[in-house]
């Protein structure tokens, strides 16, 4: 007899989700059978007609280029190099030589004959997005497709704002379309500029792929299409902005050379389907936040079953430009004594959560059919001090499966996605509030399953999931 199914509550309402395919929570199944729950904490599905400037800036706060890297692009503001096309964000590099305004303190700024001191020559224009929200810890996900061409240099990364406060989830060069570069930079070189190149089973220019960077208090992971491929042991003590940009490299010996050549196709696009940020969700603890002033180095996400902020003789302040996101599974109480200053980035919400237990599974490697995987050990940069001792093709307690279920509430269809693979039977059942099974599917092999429930009456439904002969974790959202 199968016991303790995953129990997921859906309500059939007349409200259609305004967010394309973005779940509120996802599971991460580890190799030892434990379950980690993540809650959506930020990002963008890029469903609109132009960039959402409440979430993003279109340039670095300090200027429109990175002079120190000798990059050849000017990040042009507006819609010329940043477009949204049918749910896809395109950061576009164009050959548009000219003089463009930079900050006065940028080295190498040219003084033109008309006396304007803040113009500098750039051969290319390009696009980037820079998050207005800062993060400390989380899972940073992007679904993307990359261009081919020498000198093209797209990247997805977190930056704390000071030298060597950098978590490079990936960098890429268009002349090597089957490789990505990862790196970790720390103030004082505590992490020895860990990083290098890795080779995939195919080209990142051929189709969309998914990369996630996991930032924890003492450990960071990299994942490609659900498969871990690198990790770094250490701590990063700052909050960081999330960046996706399309740079253009200079000729050698500059950073990430070579630059463009006569065969580089322009214009060229860094295409992004979505960016999603997840916070690890604790659905059992009761959190009391008292006499706390959120600072620029505190974790930006606090989760729990119940969260109480402020109260008598218990002040708590989120100051201007500081970031705090509260996520609870039962309730959040904001009591007198709590202040979120104007200009602060404070948010709070309630989500549903399972009780993480243990599930015994076969010790097998996660696979994603038809998707790219990393097939090489990291190739350390020649300038790196550190070797590849902290990177392994097989990590103990690695993730086996991600499960995404959306939208909730829904009016007609439920989508279930599995990223990864386990060698046991998967069965799902949809049950109404009277305990009747209205849909069932066994021996599930699809990576994505769509259940049409348009014909069902409005009400509360439960989605049960079974893995193997028994399961030992449950979500009960009543």
Q: Can you tell me whether residue 188 is helix, strand or coil?
A: helix
Average pLDDT along the chain: 80
Report the pLDDT value the prediction gives residue 308, as an integer from 0 to 100: 95
Which residue from 52, 42, 31, 450 is spatially nearest to 275, judged by alpha carbons? 42
| Contact (Cβ atoms closer than 8 angstroms) between residue 374 and residue 196 | no
Which residue from 224, 173, 236, 184 is spatially nearest to 393, judged by alpha carbons? 224
What would the pLDDT profile of 312-326 be if each residue is shown by its tens digit? 889 999 988 899 999
Full-model pTM: 0.77
* CA atoms of 106 and 103, how far apart (whole Å): 6
Report the pLDDT value the prediction gives residue 360, as an integer from 0 to 100: 32
Into which CATH architecture does domain 44-280 fall? Sandwich (2.60)
10 Å Cβ neighbour count for 156?
23
Classify the phi-psi angles of 190: left when phi > 0, otherwise alpha if psi is within -120 to 50, otherwise beta. Answer: alpha
| Contact (Cβ atoms closer than 8 angstroms) between residue 429 and residue 463 | yes
Number of helices (H), then strands (E), in the chain? 0, 35
Please state the domain extents for the chain: 1-15+424-478, 44-280, 286-350
Is the pLDDT at 355 greater than 90? The verdict is no
The burial class, CB within 10 Å (0-12 / 13-18 / 19+), for 359 is buried
With vertex at residue 213, the alpha carbon angle to CA 293 and CA 391, rounded to the nearest 5 degrees, is 120
Is the pLDDT at 187 greater than 60? The verdict is yes
Higher pLDDT, 15 or 191: 191
Report the pLDDT value the prediction gives residue 170, as an integer from 0 to 100: 98
Report the pLDDT value the prediction gives residue 395, as an integer from 0 to 100: 41
Residue written as tokens 């208090």? 217
Report the pLDDT value the prediction gives residue 30, as an integer from 0 to 100: 72
Highest mean pLDDT among 139-148, 315-324, 374-383, 439-448: 139-148
In this prediction, residues 236-256 reach a mean pLDDT of 95
- Return the structure tokens found at 114: 């008309």
Higher pLDDT, 376 or 63: 376
Report the pLDDT value the prediction gives residue 245, as an integer from 0 to 100: 98
In sign, the C-alpha dihedral spanning 59, 150, 212, 380 is: negative
- Return the structure tokens found at 36: 């980690």
* CA atoms of 392 and 98, how far apart (whole Å): 46
Higher pLDDT, 354 or 190: 190
Report the pLDDT value the prediction gives residue 164, as an integer from 0 to 100: 86
What would the pLDDT profile of 412-440 be if each residue is shown by its tens digit? 788 877 766 555 667 777 877 666 788 88
């Amino acid at each position: 007899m199968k016991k303790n199914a995953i129990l997921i509550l859906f309500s059939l309402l007349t409200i259609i989700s305004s967010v394309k395919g973005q779940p509120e929570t996802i599971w991460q199944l580890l190799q030892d059978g434990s379950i980690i729950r993540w809650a959506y904490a930020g990002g963008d599905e890029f469903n609109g007609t132009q960039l959402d400037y409440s979430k993003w800036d279109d340039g670095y706060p300090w200027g429109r280029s990175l002079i120190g890297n000798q990059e050849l692009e000017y990040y042009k503001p507006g819609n010329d190099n940043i477009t949204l096309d049918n749910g896809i964000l395109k950061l576009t590099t164009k050959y548009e030589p000219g003089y463009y305004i930079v900050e006065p303190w940028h080295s190498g700024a040219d003084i033109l004959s008309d006396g304007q001191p803040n113009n500098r020559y750039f051969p290319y224009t390009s696009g980037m997005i820079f998050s207005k929200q800062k993060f400390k810890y989380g899972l940073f996900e992007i679904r993307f497709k990359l261009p081919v061409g020498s000198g093209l240099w797209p990247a997805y990364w977190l930056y704390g704002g000071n030298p060597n406060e950098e978590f490079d989830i990936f960098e890429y060069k268009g002349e090597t379309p089957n490789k990505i570069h990862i790196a970790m930079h720390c103030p004082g070189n505590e992490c020895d500029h860990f990083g290098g190149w890795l080779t995939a089973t195919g080209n990142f220019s051929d189709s969309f792929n998914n990369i996630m960077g996991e930032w924890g208090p003492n450990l960071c992971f990299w994942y490609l299409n659900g498969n871990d491929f690198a990790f770094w042991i250490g701590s990063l003590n700052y909050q960081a902005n999330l960046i996706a940009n399309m740079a253009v490299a200079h000729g050698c010996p500059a950073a990430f050379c070579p630059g463009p050549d006569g065969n580089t196709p322009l214009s060229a696009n860094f295409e992004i389907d979505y960016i999603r940020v997840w916070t690890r969700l604790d659905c059992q603890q009761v959190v009391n936040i008292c006499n706390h002033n959120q600072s620029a180095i505190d974790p930006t996400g606090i989760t729990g079953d119940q969260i109480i902020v402020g109260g008598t003789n218990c002040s708590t302040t989120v100051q201007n430009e500081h970031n705090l996101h509260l996520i609870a599974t039962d309730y959040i109480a904001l009591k007198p004594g709590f202040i979120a200053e104007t200009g602060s980035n404070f948010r709070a919400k309630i989500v549903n959560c399972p009780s993480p237990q243990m599930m015994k599974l076969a010790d097998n490697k996660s696979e994603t059919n038809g998707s790219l995987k990393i097939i090489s050990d990291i190739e350390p940069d020649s300038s790196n001090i550190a070797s590849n001792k902290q990177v392994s093709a097989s990590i103990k307690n690695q993730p086996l499966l991600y499960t995404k279920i959306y939208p909730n509430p829904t009016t007609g269809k439920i989508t279930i996605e599995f990223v990864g693979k386990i060698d046991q039977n998967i069965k799902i059942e949809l049950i109404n509030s009277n305990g009747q099974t209205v849909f069932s599917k066994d021996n599930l092999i699809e990576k994505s399953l769509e259940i049409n429930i348009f014909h069902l009456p409005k009400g509360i439904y439960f989605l049960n999931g079974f893995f193997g002969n028994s399961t030992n974790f449950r979500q009960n959202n009543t």
